[in-house]
Each structure stands twice: as C-alpha cells, then as structure tokens.
Chains A and B, each alone.
Chain A
Amino acid sequence: MTTAPSFPRPAVSGAGAATDPAAGTPETLGPPPPARPAPSARGPRRRWLRAVVLAALVLATVAFVYPLLWLLSASFKPRAEVFDNRLVPRTFTLDNYVTVWQEAPLALWLGNTVVVTVLAAGLVTVSSALVAWGFAFFRFRGRGPLFGLVLATMMLPGAVTMIPTFLIWNQLGLVGTNVPLWAGNLFASAFYVFLLRQFFLGLPREPFEAARLDGANNWQMFWRIAVPLCRPALVLTFLFEAQASWTDLMRPLIYLQDSSTFTIPRGLKALIDQFGPGGESQWEVVVTASVITTLPMILLFFLGQRHFVEGVATTGSKG
C-alpha cells in the first residue's frame, strides 16, 4: 500500500466551501462571479473578441452535443440510411425500436439495471454517510491515521482487488446473480466518505450541543440534524453512484453469465457482439440499443443537473 502523500491544503478550505451546502447557485463554489459591471477584469473588452469567444463556444457545443443527436437520429433511420449523417432522417421509422424489443429482453435488462442502480446508490449513500459522520463528528485517538487509510484506498487501482473479490463472491455462490454488483456498497466507499465528511465538517456545532443537552443520543443527532442539513451532499452521492452503477460494464462482464440477468450496458455489449462489427452488421439495432442505454442517464442529468455540475466542481477544489 502507498502512504498517503500529503498535500498542503488550507485546513478548513473544504469545510468552508461546504458551509452552506444548501445554497443552490453554481456560483457558490467560487467567490462571487466576477462583477459583470466591470468587464475590464475578465470579460474581453472588445466586441469582436467576444464574438470570437462565443463562436468558439458554439462550435465546441456542436462537437459535444452532435454525437448524441446523431445517435438519436440514426435510431429512427432504416438500415440503409444509418450512415448517411443526416440529422433529420430521410425516412422516419420506429422499426428499429420494435426490432430491438423483439431481439433482446430489453424490459428485463432495464429492470435489472434499475434494481442494481437503486440498491448500489442507496446503500453507498447510507453507509458512506454513516462512516463520514463517524470521522467528522467524533474525536478519538487514531482518527487521523485511520482517515488517512480511507484516503489511501482511493489510490488503489481496482485491478488489484478484482480477482480476489470475484473469488469471494464465487465462494458465496453469488456469481451469476446481481448481488456482487451492489452488495459491496454496504461498506461505504472512500471517495464518498471523503466528500460527505467535508460537508459534515462544515456544519455548525451548536445545534448538536443543544441536542445533546436535550438528551439526544448519537444516532438521533446524526439522523435528525446532520442528515437533513446535508441533504444536497447526499443527493450528490446518490446521483454519482447511480451514474457509475448504471454505466458500469466491467463488473457485469465479470459476474453475469445468463442473458436474463444482464444489466443494460452488458446487454448492449452482447448486442454489439451479435450485430456489430464481426457480427451481422445490423448497426441500426446497436444504435437503437445505445440510445435506450443512454437516455436514462441524460434524464438523470437533467433531473439533478445542479448537483452534478456543482458536485464535479467540488471534487476538484478539494483535491
């Protein structure tokens, strides 16, 4: 194992940034946005420069959004036109969706994925919150080194533990079921412990002292005061893990054998093998299945847009 490299870091910067986790605007993570009335500071002063910046941004946006639109559009095209690169299909058809639905147990795959995703995200949120609270609220000897160990595990490449972990689940007879895809999340995850602890550290201490005087026990203080105050951070954890879990391919590849147990990315991979290169080259099937795999994530993003964008910004500023 590595020793956790020490990073000079302002002692409370993380906590400071999280003091007001409820504040919603994306701007809260930095200082207030540069005052717009005085554009001299940041915004380009000359109008043509502003136009160039805008043009570049629009161009980049096209590059980022176009592939998804291409995919969506191709899923409505008949086989011969999939590659015609037109954004609006010349012949609009829903046949591909019908075909995919008949070729593959999509409803089953989607159902499996929802179960795995909800369990994985829910469990990791609860367990990581508990552990983070243990590190944030209590003081005890050895807390520092122990937390250092939590952080050190984040540096460990997953490849090292992959095989023994498989053997554990194999020993328990759970290979082939979806249990290995979520049960590990019962035991918290270092990254989220780190994230949530930062938020917990930002909470004022007074309400807890008051509650203690009123006779609240540790559990009540956690559940009734800390958790409600840190809801945004918990939502963030849930969303992050939901995305990770939904999109994961490697563990479904390792643990799932029967097509009826597949998650949707694993199913998509099976469809690529069957219909993609080396297979029957029915790209419209692969394209349509890709759309079905991706859409729920786009939906999730728009549901939790604020959390995603802020959360990602936070992970960087706390490094």
Chain B
Amino acid sequence: MTTPVAPALPTPATGGSREAPVRRRRARPSPSERRERNAALRFISPWIVGFVVFTAWPILYSAYLSLTDYDVINDPTFVGLDNYREMAQDPKVALSLWNTLVYTVVQVPLYTVVALALALLLNQAARSAGFFRTAFFIPKMTPPVAVGVLLLLLFNGQYGIVNEVLSWVGIQGPSWTTDQDWIKPGLVLISLWTVGSAVIILLAALRNVPNDLYDAARVDGAGFWRRTRAVTVPMISGALFFVVVINTIAGFQMFTEAYSAYFGAGNSTYRNDAALFCVIYLFQEGFQELHMGYASALAWLLFVVIMLVTVVQLVVSRRLVYYEGEQR
C-alpha cells in the first residue's frame, strides 16, 4: 500500500462518461444493469474491503484514540481533549512543526526549480537526452536509508567530498551533519539528489508544448528567458503544479532520510533536535514510548496541516495553472 511515486492528483470522478452518453436516472435498475453492477462490484471488492478495514476504520479509530490514553497493553482510557491541550504546550510539537515547515518551505521551491532547470537542459539535448535522463533517475532508486548514509558521509564536515569541492573555490564548508543550523540545509541538498523523477515528469510536459508557440514567440522577438517565462512555464504549469503538490505532501511526511541519519533505535544517544520532523516525533511517541493516544492526536494535527496547505495550493492553482483541456 505504499506508493512509490507520490500519489497522482484526483481527477474529476467523471472518467467513466467516456463512451456512455447521458445516462437516464432510473428509480430501479433493470436486471441487466444490476448484473453489470454486481459484476463490477465483484472486481472492485478487494478495494472495498481494504478501504473499510485499512482506511475508514483506522481514520475513525485514530480520531477516537486521540481522545484517550492508550499504551497498547491496557485498555484506552478516555481523557477528552487532554492530548490536544498537552500538544499545545509540548515544546517538541512546536519544534517538530517548525522543523517540518522550514524544511518544506525551503525544499519544495528549490527542488522544483532544479527539476525545471534540468528538464529544460535535457529538452535542449537532442539525441543524448535518453542517456542523461537515465543518469538523473538512477539516484531515485537508492533506498532512503542509504541516502541517509550518503548524507552523513558526503556531507561530513571534516572529510566529506562536499566540503572538499567547496574548498576548491575557497569556501570553508560548515559541519553539515553536526551543526544544528546546517542539518536541515544538508537534508534539503541531499533531497535534490533524488530530483530525477520530477525531471522526467517535467521533460514529458515540455515535449508536449507545441513548437509553433515558440516560433511565434521568436517572431515577436522573445529571447530565451522571455520564451521560458511566457511560453514554457505557463504551458507546463499543470506538471509543475503536480510536482509542487506531491513534494509538499512528501516534505511534510519527511521521515526516512532524517531518521536513518540522525536517530538511533531505542537508546537514542544522538537524538538530534534540528532533524526532529513531525512524523519522526509521531513515530517516537507512538512506537517507542507507546503513547498511542498522544501519537494519534499528533497524526491528526499533521493531517489537518497537510490538508490546509494542499487546499491553499489548489485554490491558488486555479488562478495560475493552465490545462490544455480548458480551451477545447
């Protein structure tokens, strides 16, 4: 049930009307309609069972748990809104929210711009695009745990290659992995290493931009930047928006890279405040401290934050994003 690539955006649920013309609403389905419906439901049944057991019930139950104290061993005891009150005063909640917010706000724009830049470059490369595209995508295959290892090694303040390269141009690099101020920037930078899938998505969109738009822009005397700003970006705004939304949701749920690099199992001797993200704190509370009720409340907080941000993005996108279908 994990999605490797971030989930695609919901489309209007009208997909089915492709071939069926306008359907008459009938009070009672005919026998053939009923047969067809039953056949369909048989095929769909795995999802229905999964939805009830692994989505609907967990949502309701986690809402209930968030109002209780529960340690898995003893029965949950109802405590009302205590968990939420506790959350408001818990400095770690504020800290993890702050960390997550800072990370996402910096990571998403940077990631999108880098992906766009690389996609534009690839779009210029004629025959060799395939080779480079492969090269860009390979890091995406690296398990996030190993990405965490690479972060610790490549960004090592003393011996890391990153600081070595920086020293070639006379910059003394920071202690990326130990200095509290540089831990999040390090995590952002290593996340750019796995930008490949976004590059591929944007490149596919770039290739869909009709050439005559560029020709027209050229005739009007538009230079490269002007063409990029006035033609390319609007034409691929749908794909850009997709990359932004998916990355925002992923950013808010940042876990594995930071956890593998900065948090130990059980006896966390090197617990690191600068890398304490929401999901990491949730994980610690839920599965290490067995504060299941409190962790459920944290999950709901995160859920609400993600939803708010996504809704804002959707509203903004209505004004900014152009979809090809709109004109037809």
Contact = CB atoms under 8 A, between A and B. Distances in A.
A143 B16 contact: yes
Interface in A1-59: 1-2, 4-15, 26-27, 29-31, 33-34, 36, 39-44, 50, 53-54, 56-57
B5 interface: yes
A10 B264 contact: no
A15 B18 contact: yes
B159 to A, nearest CB: 4
Contacts of A10: 323-325, 328
Contact of A316 (B127, B153, B202, B211): B202
A217 to B, nearest CB: 9
Nearest to A146: B44
A278 B241 CA distance: 41
Measured as residues with beta carbon below 8 angstroms from the partner, the interface class of chain B is 35 or more
Contacts of B42: 134, 218
Contacts of B61: 164, 167
B200 A309 contact: yes
Contact of A312 (B132, B197, B325): B197
A228 to B, nearest CB: 17
B2, B18, B72, B282, most chain A CB atoms within 10 A: B2
A138 B42 CA distance: 11
A167 B214 CA distance: 57
Contacts of B196: 64
A201 B20 CA distance: 13
A140 B10 contact: no
Interface string B136-160: 1111011111101110111010011
A22 B171 CA distance: 51
Q: Which of B8, B14, B323 has the most CB of A within 10 A?
A: B8
Contacts of A233: none
A265 B255 CA distance: 14
Given A186-B50, A297-B143, A44 B40 contact: no
A275 B150 CA distance: 14
Interface string B30-44: 000100110111111
A159 B282 contact: yes
Contacts of A195: 8
B10 A312 contact: no
A31 B211 CA distance: 11
A223 to B, nearest CB: 11
A124 B10 contact: no
Nearest to A266: B145
Interface in A120-140: 124, 127, 130-131, 133-135, 137-140
Given A189-B1, A244-B3, A317-B205, A85 B159 contact: yes
A188 interface: yes
Contact of A154 (B7, B57, B150, B252): B7
B215 interface: yes
B13 A151 contact: yes
B153 A287 contact: yes
Contact of A134 (B41, B177, B193, B252): B41
Given A7-B12, A157-B249, A168 B53 contact: yes
B126 to A, nearest CB: 5
B4 A241 contact: yes
Chain B, interface SS category? helix
Nearest to A150: B47
Contact of B3 (A27, A154, A168, A251): A154
Given A64-B196, A139-B20, A130 B43 contact: yes
Interface stretch (B83-91, B101-109, B179-187, B299-307): B299-307
A152 B193 CA distance: 30
Contacts of A184: 1, 50, 54
B58 interface: yes
Nearest to A254: B287
A94 interface: no
Contacts of A13: 324-325
B18 A12 contact: yes
Contact of A293 (B16, B54, B143, B160): B143
Interface string A264-289: 11001110110011110001001100
A161 B8 CA distance: 19
A7 B10 contact: yes
Contacts of A111: none
A278 B271 CA distance: 10
A148 B137 contact: no
Contacts of B249: 155, 157
A201 B15 contact: yes
A97 interface: no
B70 to A, nearest CB: 9
A164 B57 contact: yes
A192 B37 CA distance: 22
A36 B14 CA distance: 39
A159 B279 contact: yes
A11 B14 contact: yes
Contacts of B126: 36, 39, 43
Contacts of B200: 309, 312-313, 316
B256 interface: yes
A268 B3 CA distance: 22
Interface string A157-169: 1111111111110
B136 A286 contact: no
Nearest to B286: A163
A216 to B, nearest CB: 13
7 contacts: A135-B44, A153-B55, A159-B299, A186-B50, A293-B146, A298-B138, A317-B208
